[in-house]
């Protein structure tokens, strides 16, 4: 692809280099901050009435007796060789853990995104179209209220209504690798809905705001003067120019969906990455914490990159910064 002399590679390459550097710095920060936490894996695993010998044996076995920088060095060398390492507390390969949990988290985030992105986009356009009218105010009020409530509260409220009182869906979302797609959708309905509540308002308001800000620009006025209907003005003229910021917000929201599922996964006992992360931090299981943090960070970076590309595609002027 070629945009006015600059290739996609020219645009992407520096960003990718920066991304790798960011990941490296994040890995350092995570490793040494977990290191700063009091206690280690051996203590977390054996509990407070562990014998001194058992602790010593375990530390030796997990190589916790070598200094932190040595362990970091080993970890990063292994990583560069494609080995994600082994969980300290369970001895299982981190890649196996990820293979189990990551698809679950992406499935839930994807499901939530499939509901919330089109919903907020359409509602955003509608509220822009009918701004300051009852529809606009009503939708805005509900969306803001929903996103202001904490995730766990929304989750509990939904459980109370849809599981305990109505009995339509189960209150917990235990899925297994054998679950069919239909089962998965049924079981993850409530968590996906919770996440939709949490994320829609931001995207909706951004869509609405970026369309509205364009409505006063001269070319829109011109279109209006030519007698174009207000629906076509918004969808055909304003929306393409508003796509950049909307894509940005959507990307951030998607990233948020992936990394913020911790609370929702706990409430619904959903076997995803968030649960794994919480478990691992409390066990000081550094190899797992590192890799999960890397996954979260990469999600942010990749989605931001995609958002930039979408913004560029929607508005080629951005290729040539002044």
List residues binding another protein (CB under 8 A): 37-39, 43, 45-54, 57-58, 61, 87, 89-92, 97, 100, 156, 159-160, 163-164, 167, 170-172, 174, 176, 266-269, 271, 275-276, 279-280, 282-283, 285, 288
CB 173 within 8 A of CB 86: no
Q: Which residues does 40 contact at the CB level (< 8 Å), separation at least 6?
A: 59, 64, 284
Distance, CA of 81 to CA of 166 (rounded, Å): 52
Element (H, E) at 2: strand 2-3
Distance, CA of 1 to CA of 85 (rounded, Å): 39
Q: Least separation, in Å, of the C-beta of 46 and another protein?
A: 6
Q: Can you give the C-alpha Rg of the chain in angstroms?
A: 24
Comparison of 125 and 175: residue with beta carbon closer to another protein = 175
Comparison of 4 and 91: residue with beta carbon closer to another protein = 91
Comparison of 85 and 224: residue with beta carbon closer to another protein = 85
Q: Least separation, in Å, of the C-beta of 71 and another protein?
A: 18
State residue 3 phi and psi, 5-degree precision: -115, 100
> Among candidates 47, 33, 26, 29, which has minimal Cα distance to 283?
47
Comparison of 202 and 270: residue with beta carbon closer to another protein = 270
CB 23 within 8 A of CB 297: yes
Q: Give the tokens for residue 2.
A: 């070629």
Sign of the C-alpha dihedral computed for residues 75, 77, 79 and 85 taken in this order = negative
Q: Give the tokens for residue 240.
A: 């393409």
Comparison of 60 and 232: residue with beta carbon closer to another protein = 60
Comparison of 65 and 221: residue with beta carbon closer to another protein = 65
Q: Least separation, in Å, of the C-beta of 76 and another protein?
A: 23
Q: Least separation, in Å, of the C-beta of 61 and another protein?
A: 7
Q: Is 305 exposed, middle or buried (0-12, 13-18, 19+ CB in 10 A)?
A: middle
Q: Least separation, in Å, of the C-beta of 161 and another protein?
A: 11
Q: Least separation, in Å, of the C-beta of 106 and another protein?
A: 17
Q: Least separation, in Å, of the C-beta of 97 and another protein?
A: 6
Distance, CA of 87 to CA of 62 (rounded, Å): 10
Comparison of 211 and 264: residue with beta carbon closer to another protein = 264
Comparison of 121 and 277: residue with beta carbon closer to another protein = 277
Q: Least separation, in Å, of the C-beta of 188 and another protein?
A: 14
Q: Least separation, in Å, of the C-beta of 90 and another protein?
A: 4
CB 181 within 8 A of CB 277: no
Q: Give the tokens for residue 34.
A: 């977990």
Comparison of 197 and 202: residue with beta carbon closer to another protein = 197
Q: Which residues does 68 contact at the CB level (< 8 Å), separation at least 6?
A: 31, 32, 35
CB 183 within 8 A of CB 175: yes
């Amino acid at each position: 692809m070629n945009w006015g002399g600059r290739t996609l590679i020219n645009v992407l390459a520096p960003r990718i280099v920066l991304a790798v550097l960011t990941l490296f710095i994040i890995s350092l920060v995570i490793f040494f901050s977990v290191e700063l936490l009091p206690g280690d894996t051996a203590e977390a695993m054996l509990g407070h009435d562990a014998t001194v010998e058992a602790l010593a044996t375990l530390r030796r076995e997990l190589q916790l007796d070598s200094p932190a920088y040595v362990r970091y060095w080993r970890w990063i060398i292994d990583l560069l060789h494609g080995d994600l390492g082994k969980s300290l507390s369970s001895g299982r390969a981190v890649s196996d853990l990820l293979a189990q949990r990551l698809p679950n988290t992406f499935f839930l985030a994807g499901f939530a995104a499939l509901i919330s992105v089109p919903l907020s986009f359409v509602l955003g356009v509608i509220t822009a179209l009918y701004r300051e009218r009852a529809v606009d105010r009503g939708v805005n009020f509900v969306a803001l209220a929903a996103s202001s409530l904490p995730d766990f509260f929304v989750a509990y409220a939904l459980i109370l209504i849809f599981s305990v009182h109505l009995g339509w869906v189960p209150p917990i979302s235990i899925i297994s690798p054998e679950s069919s797609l239909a089962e998965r959708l049924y079981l993850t309905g409530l968590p996906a809905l919770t996440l939709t509540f949490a994320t829609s308002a931001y995207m909706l308001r951004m869509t609405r705001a970026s369309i509205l800000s364009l409505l006063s620009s001269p070319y829109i006025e011109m279109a209006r003067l030519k007698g174009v209907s207000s629906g076509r003005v918004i969808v055909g003229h304003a929306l393409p120019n508003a796509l950049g910021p909307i894509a940005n917000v959507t990307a951030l929201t998607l990233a948020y969906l992936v990394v913020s599922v911790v609370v929702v996964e706990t409430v619904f006992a959903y076997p995803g990455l968030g649960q794994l992360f919480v478990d691992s931090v409390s066990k000081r299981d550094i190899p797992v914490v590192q890799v999960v943090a890397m996954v979260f960070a990469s999600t942010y970076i990749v989605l931001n990159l995609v958002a930039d590309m979408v913004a560029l595609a929607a508005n080629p002027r951005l290729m040539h910064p002044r």
